[in-house]
Amino acid sequence: MDNYTSGFNLVGTPFIPSTTRNRFMVIGCNTMGIIGGYLHSNPDLYVAGCYSYCQGINSTSNGAPCTGKGCCETTITPNLTDFAALLIINQSSVWTFNPCFYAMLAEVGWYSFRQQDLVGHLGFINKRAKRGVPVISDWAIRNGSCPKDGATALMGYACVSSNSYCVGATNGPGYMCNCSEGYEGNPYLPRGCQDIDECKLHKQNSKYTELYPCRNGVCRNIPGGYVCKCGIGKKSDGKNSGCRPVLTQAEQVVIGLSVSSVVVIALACLLAMKFQRRKHRKEKDEYFKQNGGLKLYDEMRSRQVDTFHILTEKEVKKATENYSNDRVLGCGGHGMSSPY
């Protein structure tokens, strides 16, 4: 046939062909493929297409990109809900080896050109596309929109989970619902978005170590997230992804040397005080001996009576009120002289 048209209609459905994940493609020689249709809720007609050419099957190569030799492709517009493909064919010079031509809306990357697709009656359909070709559609709730900030959601609002939020559709009218950060699940169900236990995932699988980092700290799960608790001597890196020492290595070395010096000095002082006390005790013993202490002690033992009583220094201080002058009884046979 000189031309043939086929298409389908998505009006009234939540689906619109994705503009980024689909391409309109044409397979054949000396063939122009056109895609045309109407945009969602818009009376303007959309038309786009591409031209595929080749003089013989040997002028094409397997795996070549669809840039015009044996096949071609082009992008589609957003909001396209009612569309059809049209083939304009010049068969006269290629009919002997290329009797059939194809136009399709297909997923990006799905099709790779093969010379066999040009050969035989419905060769491409029978060998590579018996069930058709894959198409990626964008889904959204088309009969509504996200409520404005502070406004009450209308009846039938779909984002019913308490931990969800609304985003506008990127292709066509409407909106979609997503779980809030730190939650996962189905935002279209009550309590459908559940808290992600980042700490549990961190322990279960190493791939979450980078996704939920907590280096040198202790992970604590909280609703909608987690915190990385730091121990003594460490502080947060400011990103809640790990802990680092409060002091640098150089500072730690300086403080360690300082503490060591203080300890050494303190030990030296304690040792010096111990020697000083031992020396003082020895001097007191010598003084006791030099002033008749031993003789007095022997005298006390020989009499076996309580005639003598030796007072300690503490008792003498108490009796004299810390050696007060008011407690002096005399200084020789005539008493103590006065300067007045």
67-109 pLDDT per residue, tens: 999 999 999 999 888 889 888 877 677 888 898 899 999 999 9
Question: CA 124, CA 110: separation in Å to the nearest integer?
Answer: 14
Which architecture, in CATH terms, is 199-250?
A: Ribbon (2.10)
Sorted by where each begins, the domain ranges of the chain are 7-134, 140-195, 199-250
Assign 296 to helix, strand or coil.
helix
For 149-185, how does the pLDDT look when each residue is reduced to its tens digit (9 = 90+)? 878 888 889 999 999 999 999 998 999 999 999 999 9
Task: Kindly report whether the global pTM for this prediction surpasses the value 0.85.
Answer: no
User: Is the pLDDT assigned to residue 233 strictly greater than 60?
Assistant: yes
What is the distance in angstroms between the CA of the first residue and the CA of the last residue of the chain?
150
Q: Which tens digits make up the pLDDT trace of 302-331?
A: 765 555 667 777 778 788 888 887 777 766
Residue 81, pLDDT score: 87
- Average pLDDT on 291-296 reads 67
Q: What local confidence, expressed as pLDDT, does residue 242 receive?
A: 83
Which pLDDT score, from 0 to 100, does residue 248 have?
62
- Secondary structure class of 98 (helix, strand, coil): coil
**Location of structure tokens 């909106």:** 175
Is the pLDDT score of 3 beyond 60? Answer: no
Q: What is the DSSP string of 146-195?
A: PPPTTPPPPTT-S--STTEEEEE-SSSS-EEEEEPTTEEE-TTSTT-EEE
Give residue 340's pLDDT.
46
Average pLDDT value for residue range 279-302: 71
* Predicted local confidence at residue 336, as pLDDT: 59
